Amino acid sequence: MLYSLAQKMMFQMDAEQAHDLALKSLKFTANSPLACGYSQALPSSPVKCMGISFPNPVGLAAGLDKNGEAIDAFHAMGFGFVEVGTVTPKPQAGNDKPRLFRLTKAKAIINRMGFNNKGVDNLVRNLQAKKTDILVGVNIGKNKDTPVEQGKEDYLICMDKVYPYAAYITVNISSPNTPGLRSMQYGALLDDLLASIKTKQSELTEKYRRYVPVALKIAPDLTVDEIESIALSLINNQFDAVIATNTTLSRDGVEGLTHGTEMGGLSGAPLTSASTLVIKQLAGFLDKKIPIIGVGGINTAQDALDKFDAGATLVQIYSGFIYQGPKLIKHIVNAYKAK
């Protein structure tokens, strides 16, 4: 009821203003009696993935809390883990506004944010300040003004700084909102990046005496051959996980809707089947050698179960969470426990 009232109010606002207000409110109320407005107890449903024991398989996808400002509030809601970011070495403003659009009839969102964030040093301070023991993954990217050919240096800078504080690290090369970024999903650029990440991981494991898994986040707009090629690169470079998928450039399912032709990545219900198909194809190529974290269009518990059935070990939610609220976490955990 409380979320429904808050949602009704925020849906009258500009999408990005509502997003910023929600994060500020969560940051203010976290670890206080006011957190009772969104706190909920969930049954224990532990899942082992990437060598980590997660209290339940439902995580918050990257993009909602880029700067790690409300981590403890999301813990109170019952998330099994939170992924913050995408973070870049230097702060950047992102693309021009407006850049975030709700397509309410389709339970979808289009964004062209462009990795707007306060930079990796600010994120590290927020990771150091969190008071709960929730597992936090950190999603890392490159600055817009860094040439693609030099992009791996940005990933290594971020990795070096967040490594001591992250449960796992996600390499994001699949956002459609940074020019040229998706080209890093292919061929020599991909192999060079993955090899460099694994070398850095080995160095940092020795330095901190702690192994932090690395995952790769991929796009849904890939051919079967491209998915197979990525899977082989992940296996060859001994990556710890793959996250499928990011937002899509397709506009299937939003034709004729207000904002349906806006540039950017589409997320939410129209992405459900495409994301699940990529997971199924990936699972076939990976042959259980590398776990899959499923994300994209999870709006109901059944959507999540379909991701698990397709081959995902964990799932993440974003747009579905915006439309359904914290109850979606509980519904998925209960359905997962019952399956």
Residues recognised as catalytic = 175
HSE-up of residue 274 (Cα within 13 Å, Cβ side): 23
Distance of alpha carbon 294 from alpha carbon 271, whole angstroms: 12
- Look at residues 197, 144, 193, 207 and name the one whose alpha carbon lies nearest to residue 168: 197
Distance of alpha carbon 322 from alpha carbon 109, whole angstroms: 9
Largest CA distance in the chain: 54
Q: What tokens does 242 get?
A: 């793959």
Those residues with Cβ within 8 angstroms of residue 120's Cβ, 6 or more apart along the chain or in another chain: 87, 88, 89, 140, 157, 158, 161, 162
Distance of alpha carbon 171 from alpha carbon 1, whole angstroms: 37
Q: What tokens does 280 get?
A: 């199924």
Q: Are 102 and 15 in contact (CB under 8 A)?
A: yes
Beta bridge partners of 243: 217, 293
Distance of alpha carbon 53 from alpha carbon 280, whole angstroms: 24
Q: What tokens does 319 get?
A: 């747009």
- Look at residues 70, 92, 219, 190 and name the one whose alpha carbon lies nearest to residue 136: 70
Q: Are 305 and 336 in contact (CB under 8 A)?
A: yes
In this structure, the dihedral spanned by the alpha carbons of residues 166, 172, 175 and 180, taken in order and rounded to 10 degrees, is 140
Residue whose entry in the numeric block shows the structure tokens 């710890």: 240
Those residues with Cβ within 8 angstroms of residue 20's Cβ, 6 or more apart along the chain or in another chain: none
Distance of alpha carbon 69 from alpha carbon 125, whole angstroms: 10
